Copies of this chain bind each other. A is one copy, B any other.
Amino acid sequence: MVVVMASEATESDLDNVVSLVESAGGEAFVSRGVNRTIVGLVGDAERFEALNLGGQHGVVEVVRISAPYKLVSREHHAERSTVHVGGVPIGPGTMTLIAGPCAVETPEQTLEAALMAQSAGATLLRGGAFKPRTSPYAFQGLGEEGLRILADVRAETGMPIVTEVVDARDVELVARYADMLQIGTRNTQNFALLQAVGEAGKPVMIKRGMSGTIEEWLMSAEYVAQRGNLDVVLCERGIRTFEKATRNTLDISAVPVAQRLSHLPVIVDPSHSGGHRDLVLPLTRAAIAIGADGVIIDVHPHPETALCDGPQALVREDLAELTELMRALPPVVGRSLTAPAAAVPA
Contacts and interface: CB of A to CB of B under 8 A. Distances in A.
Contact of A286 (B68, B223, B252): B252
A136 B191 contact: yes
A242 B242 contact: yes
22 contacts: A132-B189, A132-B191, A133-B191, A134-B219, A136-B219, A136-B222, A137-B226, A167-B168, A168-B192, A210-B211, A213-B243, A213-B244, A214-B245, A241-B241, A245-B253, A249-B249, A250-B251, A253-B274, A253-B279, A282-B291, A289-B289, A332-B332
Interface residues of A, number: 68
Given A169-B192, A213-B243, A253-B273, A278 B260 contact: yes
A255 interface: yes
A233 interface: no
A267 interface: no
A116 interface: no
Given A216-B134, A260-B278, A286-B289, A211 B191 contact: no
Interface of A: 29, 42, 68, 70, 132-137, 166-169, 186-187, 189-193, 195, 209-211, 213-216, 219, 222-223, 226, 239-246, 249-257, 260, 273-274, 278-279, 282-283, 285-291, 328-329, 332-333
